Amino acid sequence: MPFELIEAQTQHLNDLLPLIEKFYRHFDYPFDYEQHSRIVLDFLQNPHYGKIWLIKSENQFLGYIALTFGYTFEYGGKDAFVDEFFIAPEYRSQGIGKQALNEIQKLAKPLQLNALHLQTESYNTRAKELYQNVGFKDKNRSTLTWVVE
């Protein structure tokens, strides 16, 4: 299925939020519409945080991919984390995810990135297979998180 990546801007907020909600509901993550509206708007208004692309085919939004920017000594400079990546269930298994990741990888050099990172739920073998299929390597590391409260 042909699609295009559209770099999200503030005017795309109402297109993006329903997709983000589907992503959160899919993984049973907590989702608060007002809070996410503020977070996503803040993100879109501050391009140094990263970028979000909507995945669109014809007049339908199929999903989105969000990169958050950081810096890594290990890989020599600017890096990005694929913070969220979602394809609506009805569009999965059609090669869209693989093509979207390939397009993001092509943007790495123009974005001056030295590395792209991502993570998936440990039980999500289908996603892990997709990521390894496009060149991501399992470095046998664990992501540990401390949340500031």
Are β-strands 77-87 and 50-57 bridged in parallel, bridged antiparallel, or unpaired?
A: unpaired
Does the pLDDT value for residue 127 go beyond 90? no
pTM of the model: 0.90
Per-residue pLDDT at 133 exceeds 90: no
pLDDT digits (tens, 9 = 90+) for 49-107: 999 999 999 999 999 999 999 999 999 999 999 999 999 999 999 999 999 999 999 99
C-alpha distances out from residue 22 to 19, 94, 104, Å: 5, 19, 22
What digits encode the pLDDT tens for the residues 3-38?
999 999 999 999 999 999 999 999 899 999 999 999
**Contact call for residues 113 and 78 (beta carbons, < 8 A):** yes
What are the structural domains of the chain? 4-133 (3.40.630.30)
Residue 29 amino acid letter:
Y
Tokens of 146: 């401390």
119/18: higher pLDDT = 18
Q: Which DSSP letter does residue 145 get?
A: -
Region class of 95: left (phi > 0), else alpha (psi between -120 and 50), else beta: left
Cα–Cα distance for residue pair 11/132, rounded to 1 Å: 34
Helix/strand/coil for 63: strand
